[in-house]
Amino acid sequence: MNRSDQNSFRALADPTRRDILRMLARDEMTIADVSSHFDMTRAAVKKHLTVLSDGGLITVEARGRERINRINPAGFAPVLSWLEFFDQFWDDRLSTLKTTIEKDKT
């Protein structure tokens, strides 16, 4: 089976990276921008951004001495596609699932 989705799932496994994605969903940011939101070094944040980039969840564009990080919606496709596989088996239980999602929303 194809394992091209491994990098995207791995990228989503870390809470810091998920937070970064939520930030980038609102606005593109430089590495320094992102770093300013976390209590860790810029080098650590840069590593996270590299993992996100490897997973295809963000794109990075060089602009002068800065690196513009942007979320990449298409990168989520492997994850969503994998999750959708289960729909064919959950016809019965899906209403429960849907209800749980609504309750879990913040």
Partner DNA sequence: TTTATATGAAACCATATGGTACTATGTCAA
Partner DNA sequence: TTGACATAGTACCATATGGTTTCATATAAA
Contact window for its own copies (CB under 8 A) among 6-14, 28-36, 37-45, 59-67: 6-14
d(Cα 4, Cα 75) in Å, to the nearest integer? 11
Task: Please say which residue, 18 or 42, places its beta carbon nearer to its own copies.
Answer: 18
Helix 42-54, helix 15-26: angle, nearest 10: 80
Among 91, 95, 9, CA closest to 52: 9
Contact window for DNA (CB under 7 A) among 44-52, 73-81, 85-93, 96-104: 44-52
d(Cα 45, Cα 6) in Å, to the nearest integer? 21
Residue 38 binding its own copies, by CB under 8 A: no
Q: Which residues would be at the binding site for its own copies (CB under 8 A)?
A: 1-3, 6, 9-10, 12-13, 15, 18-19, 21-22, 25-26, 71, 73-74, 76-87, 89-91, 93-98, 100-101, 103-106
